[in-house]
Chains A and B, each alone.
Chain A
Amino acid sequence: MGQKRKRGQAGNAVQYITRNQALKKLQLKLSEFRRLCILKGIHPREPKKKTQGANKTYYHLKDINYLAHEPLLVKFRDAYAYEKKIRKAKAKKNRDLAERLLARKPKHRIDHLVKERYPSFVDALRDLDDPLTMVHLFATLPAEKALSIPAKMVHASRRLAMEFQAYVVRTNALRKVFVSVKGFYYQAELMGQAVTWLVPHNLAQMLPTDVDYRVMLTFLEFYQTMLQFVNFKLYHMLGLKYPPVMDARLEQAAAGLAAIMQDLAKPAIQAGAAEPASGAANPDAAKRLKTLPQKLKELQQAEVSGAEPMEAGNDADVAGGLAEDDEAEAAAEDSENEELGDIDSGPTSVAGGAVGVNVDNDAEVCEKLFAGLVFFLGREVPREQLLFVIRAFGGTAAWDGEGSPLSENDESITHQVVDRPTQGHRFLSREYVQPQWVFDSANFRVLVKPELYAPGTAPPPHLSPFTGPDEDDYVPDYLQELRKLQEAAKAARLRSQGLEQDRFVGEEDEVAAGAGPADADVDSVEAAEKQYAAELTRELQAANADEAEQTSDEDNEGEDEQQLIVPKAAAKTDEAAEEEAAMKNILMPRKTKKLYDSIQKTRSAKRARVEKLQQKKQALASARKKQ
């Protein structure tokens, strides 16, 4: 038997040290330690045994040693010494020296920390929520000197936010939008990772004084660096140049996203160039498209020269040019839509532009949802947010103000997004909707009924897309309606897919006829089977939908009667069951019983919540009836 071990020689006692011990070890002030921890991503850990007391924060010794070897630590010490020099110069009223020293202040970089903390790109994407939210917040903050928020940081935040949004638009990665009381929640899917961020409403933020902005700025420093590299990587993967050049004119016109998108080669235009078929439908449009790059070049040159008198003219030119482009696109897409519309005009309105896409491929549906729709944003709607959403879902947007690609009078506009109760002039050719229409349509991948969102009326409730079907047992009425719509849209998409398959089969046949009859037969049989299966499913769904509607009405009457009878009979069995359940609990071990009870408690609380909501709904409905 070996010697008895002494206390505090192994285990938690030596693996973990308290914060104060860490400070002493690193010879740092608390503020410096905090800064270093934030940048390095070191956080306290929870030891199994708190050897120094329960009310202390513990750091792992390895973490602290890791900090001790950080080159940044030395840099910070140097910076501190340098600060002292400046202070001294200032105290001695040696202004020149102080200025010179300030100008030559050593800078530090934290690129290596990003790589250290996120060894792979996916890691970084997973942790992108907080950086994005923070950067979006600071993009809207004023550069307050009293709170030491430097203007540079605010500008950088804005730029990074715009760049990221531009990427999301470019790749149509946006999946969910939610307008909450707090702000706009967005969820995008990047490389299979769901990235969620929150953008405050477009209003002046109130800067609370009881917040330590230094902490937030330290976080922001890291987040900006991280986001910069993430953006670079994202752009790199698309083969785009980073950083993108912002269009100063559009930026001035407060159309930030558009300013960047100008630089990113427009996906719609590229697509148009790549697909001669769509251009062929409208030769005039194709011609215009060909001239587009030239025009763009002219535009850029004009901006570089920056001649003021020229600008007015150019503006008009640009607006005209862009308008033409969009017209051309719209026309091309319209023609497509017409083709489809001839066959099945009804469901297309629900499915939006996303017809002929794989229903199961959410990305494809998202990409094409607003395809062919041209939105005009009123002055009073949050332009940046709507622009982002509309473009991310494949739509075209113009706005009331400088830099808009289309004027309000343009014929191609299909939807006008307004948020004021009355309109001066109404175009009969377009739908007038509230901004919520865009968000709801995007969330549920359908074009919801625009009549419900008519300006001046109270829109239907705006539902969170983040509650899954199983998460919340309570389903609001409007969600049920939306789900029906979704089904309809899905059916429409499936149908259109079936049509394409039809065409495909026909072509195959023609080709196969030349190649060999045996192969062709096999292929055609398979195809036919597929088609048949698809048709069957379609019919089944349609039938189901009809039945569901019919039976729901009938059931309601029958159910009422049944419900009256059931409770009496159920009461006894309920009691017996309850007693049985109570007796079963008796034999549970104490730990299990506690666990069981706690689970039951949360379940019952959830149930109670749902019940309460249902009761409220009924009360509201009855109140409405009385009125």
Chain B
Amino acid sequence: MGSKRNARAETKLVEQAEASSDSELDAEELYLSSDDDADAAVGPAPEDGSTSDDADDESEEGSEQDSEEEGGSLDDELDRAVVDYIADRGGTDDPAETSGRPPGEPGEAEVAETRPVDPGSDSSEDERPNRNTIGNVPLQWYKDEEHIGYDKEGSKLIKRERRDRLDALLARNDSGKEWRTVYDEYNDEEIVLSKEEMQLIQRIRAGQFPHIEVNPYEPEVDWFTRETEIHPLSSAPEPKRRFIPSKWEEKKVVKLVRALRKGWIKREKKDESEEPPAYLLWQDDGMVAEKTATGLSYIPAPKPKLPTHEESYNPPKEYLPTEEERAAYELQEEEDRPQFLPQAFDSLRKVPMYSNFIQERFERCLDLYLCPRTRRKRFDIDPESLVPKLPKPRDLQPFPSALMLRFRGHKGKVLSISVDPTGQWLASGSSDGSLKLWEVRTARCMHTWALGGPVHCTAWCPNNALRILAAVVDKKVVLLPSGTGTEEVEAAAVQALKLTPAASEGDSKLAHWQARDDGQGVDIVHQHLVKSVTWHGRGDYFASVAPTGNTQAVLVHQLSKQATQNPFRKNRGRVVRVAFHPAKPFFFVATQNHVRIYNLAKQALAKKLIAGGGITSLAVHPTGDHVIVGSEDKRLAWYDLDLSAKPYKALRYHTYALRSVAYHRSYPLFASSSDDGSVHVFHGMVYQDLLTNPLIVPVKILRGHERVDHEGVLDCAFHPTQPWIFTAGADGDVCLFCN
């Protein structure tokens, strides 16, 4: 039904073909356009039919009959509808339809009359006699005329009255033939296509041969075979030369015979497919040659791995993959996944062929001749032998091992702590601007100073007769009487902190000494932000570090004279920490990558230690011969000053940057704290004889602080007399670990 509808929509057919003798089309193309175009096309022309523009056209002859030939020569794009062939058939083959046509349409009756078909005729001309004789001229020329052209007699063919759309609709509804009626503009007539013709069109549109009789798959008749026939095609008699022995052949035979006789040509034994015989290749045994013929050592190819239980055709059940493992295997990329999954078959006869066998052998072959070979030494090392032999930590007691007290009270991170020389008091400075004084035994806060800025460093004066506390706030170093001593000590401290007029008015280029607002203590105002302060062992001198201070980065202050001096004139890099030698007049200056040791007496550089990695902290051994340095690259370096400028041991065990390092004053202990929230305590024994290297043994990892803002333990300090350690955390607590 669908095809019928399509056919109805198409009223205009352009046919380009030659009709064969028995009115069959060899090849045709049909161009179908819409109904409306046909309506619009109206067409006579004033000019005469013989004025054709196509020079090569047969219709040029001017004869009336020839015009049908134009179908074969017309260009595709020609806008004219030619339905000659179909018109011809439509008019004649279906007499029933013609008779059934209403009398109001005389054109069709005329068509039927004017086109007699001579079935015997061979000519294609006969089949499509046109009523119109204008020839191959544009139909627009007749557009405004009353007639469409001329008949054979030369009388005008008057245009039929056009049906309006209503009529067309009615006709379409009334008659079943309307949908296969085609309007022939050239002859101004309507043609009803027969059923056969409709089939023809449908077949063409479907891309099939138009005629159902044509069989495209006829059995091929091999007229000209490849096989040589035994009988000659020609019956010509055999020439004489075929019966006479050839002279040349005879000569050749003679030649060959002679060659054979003389042994020039040897006859090959045809079937010599026997294997060459094997023989005893190796005479003697037991000799194993290490070198090959090239003189290079022979490297045998590694043997493939021997199969394990997994590869068995019937492995133990536990070797078989679970569902999840199988799914995971499927998900893996083909290159990543292991070669095969263990499989189990309950009987040997069910084992299938292994499809990768040849592939694997091939790969082995490739390995054998393509892979570079080297001899590698295989170490069979017991991993325990790699572990250094160290004494057990429990043999190295005492060392801090358990969290004993927690000093709570700071609202911000505790940036620094310092234990007083007696070990009774603890000072801690925090980022909330407070400096607190704690009693160690009770963890009670005895005093709080609000210093108005983060307290980056605190340090007790080692001089027990003064009990002064130094702290660093912004650009100031604050000296405070701690108020922990006896009255005499208090008085001495007040006396010491009483500013002399010289000091207060003195040279303020480096630092300005001034009394604090509350009258207690002294501020030493620097020109740059101060980060740390350290006391000399005797408690008179102390040094402050202002890393941004350039040439004034390190200033040494004298308490007794209330004077400040700048020991260095040159800037040797950003100074991070400084320290005094406990006994000798040496001064340690840690810049980011080096530690310089100056001889203060000689005013000269004594040694330069190479560290690197951003030093954050520095501690000097009580003997003064060893230094530990903590750096941002998570490394703790132990320097033996007698040995070299490079670390005696560099240990990397923290997972984040080191924040502080500390030596115990009397016990052979040292510790490091880091941003990973842990404090590592080491046993660091230094021997008196110079031959024995220091013994470093890690003894304890202390964990008591939480990480806050990527900061862990910011400072650590040992108790001066006990094997205890205080740690200051970013979580605002100070912890005391005891043995």
Q: Is B370 engaged at the interface, CB distance under 8 Å to the other chain?
A: yes
Q: Is A297 engaged at the interface, CB distance under 8 Å to the other chain?
A: no
- The segment from A37-45, A336-344, A347-355 found at the interface with B is A37-45
The CA of A37 and the CA of B295, in the complex, are separated in Å by: 17
Q: Is A183 engaged at the interface, CB distance under 8 Å to the other chain?
A: yes
Q: Is B519 engaged at the interface, CB distance under 8 Å to the other chain?
A: no
**Contact present for A211 and B359 (CB under 8 Å):** yes
The CA of A45 and the CA of B373, in the complex, are separated in Å by: 5
The CA of A141 and the CA of B383, in the complex, are separated in Å by: 49
**Contact present for A466 and B306 (CB under 8 Å):** yes
B313, B316, B701: the one contacting A180 at CB < 8 Å is B313
Q: Given A57-B370, A211-B362, A584-B388: A200 and B381 within 8 A (CB)?
A: no
Q: Is A103 engaged at the interface, CB distance under 8 Å to the other chain?
A: yes
Q: Which residue of B lies closest to A203 (CB)?
A: B353
Q: Which residue of B lies closest to A202 (CB)?
A: B353
Q: Is B348 engaged at the interface, CB distance under 8 Å to the other chain?
A: yes
Quote the shortest CB–CB distance from B322 to chain A (angstroms): 7
Please classify the interface of chain B as helix (H, G, I), strand (E, B), loop, or mixed, using the class held by over half of its residues. loop
CB-CB contacts of B367-385 with A at 8 A, as 1s and 0s?
Answer: 0111111100000010100
CB-CB contacts of A454-496 with B at 8 A, as 1s and 0s?
Answer: 0000110111101100001000111000000000000000000
- The segment from B17-25, B33-41, B282-290, B614-622 found at the interface with A is B282-290
**Contact present for B281 and A115 (CB under 8 Å):** yes
The CA of A92 and the CA of B189, in the complex, are separated in Å by: 71
Q: Is A620 engaged at the interface, CB distance under 8 Å to the other chain?
A: yes
**Contact present for B383 and A233 (CB under 8 Å):** no
The CA of A190 and the CA of B153, in the complex, are separated in Å by: 116
The CA of A592 and the CA of B292, in the complex, are separated in Å by: 36
Quote the shortest CB–CB distance from A127 to chain B (angstroms): 6
**Contact present for A196 and B316 (CB under 8 Å):** no
**Contact present for B372 and A43 (CB under 8 Å):** yes
Q: Is B340 engaged at the interface, CB distance under 8 Å to the other chain?
A: yes
Cβ < 8 Å to A, chain B residues 48-91:
none
**Contact present for B387 and A185 (CB under 8 Å):** no
**Contact present for A231 and B296 (CB under 8 Å):** no
The CA of A127 and the CA of B368, in the complex, are separated in Å by: 12
Cβ < 8 Å to B, chain A residues 567-600:
579-588, 590, 592, 595-596, 599-600
CB-CB contacts of A173-214 with B at 8 A, as 1s and 0s?
Answer: 000001111110100000100001000110111111011100
Q: B residues within 8 A CB of A57? A: 370, 372
**Contact present for A180 and B390 (CB under 8 Å):** no
Q: Is A46 engaged at the interface, CB distance under 8 Å to the other chain?
A: yes
**Contact present for B288 and A228 (CB under 8 Å):** no
Q: Given A43-B368, A185-B306: A464 and B387 within 8 A (CB)?
A: no
Q: Is B558 engaged at the interface, CB distance under 8 Å to the other chain?
A: no
Q: Which residue of A lies closest to B320 (CB)?
A: A616
- The segment from B162-170, B206-214, B272-280, B498-506 found at the interface with A is B272-280
Q: Is B309 engaged at the interface, CB distance under 8 Å to the other chain?
A: yes
Cβ < 8 Å to B, chain A residues 582-627:
582-588, 590, 592, 595-596, 599-600, 603, 613-614, 616-617, 620
- The segment from A58-66, A77-85, A246-254, A280-288 found at the interface with B is A58-66
B304, B309, B353, B362: the one contacting A216 at CB < 8 Å is B362
Counting chain B CB atoms within 10 Å of each CB, the highest count among A117, A126, A233, A462 belongs to A462
**Contact present for B307 and A178 (CB under 8 Å):** yes
The CA of A212 and the CA of B288, in the complex, are separated in Å by: 34
Q: Given A103-B270, A236-B280: A123 and B383 within 8 A (CB)?
A: no
The CA of A425 and the CA of B49, in the complex, are separated in Å by: 104
CB-CB contacts of A95-136 with B at 8 A, as 1s and 0s?
Answer: 000000001100001010011111111111011011001100
**Contact present for B358 and A182 (CB under 8 Å):** no
Q: A residues within 8 A CB of B286? A: 120, 122
Quote the shortest CB–CB distance from A394 to chain B (angstroms): 22
Cβ < 8 Å to B, chain A residues 5-39:
34, 37-38
**Contact present for A120 and B287 (CB under 8 Å):** yes
Q: A residues within 8 A CB of B393? A: 580, 583
A selection of 15 A-B contacts at a CB cut-off of 8 Å is A43-B299, A43-B368, A43-B370, A118-B282, A120-B287, A121-B285, A178-B311, A181-B343, A228-B275, A419-B348, A434-B347, A458-B346, A477-B316, A603-B383, A614-B318
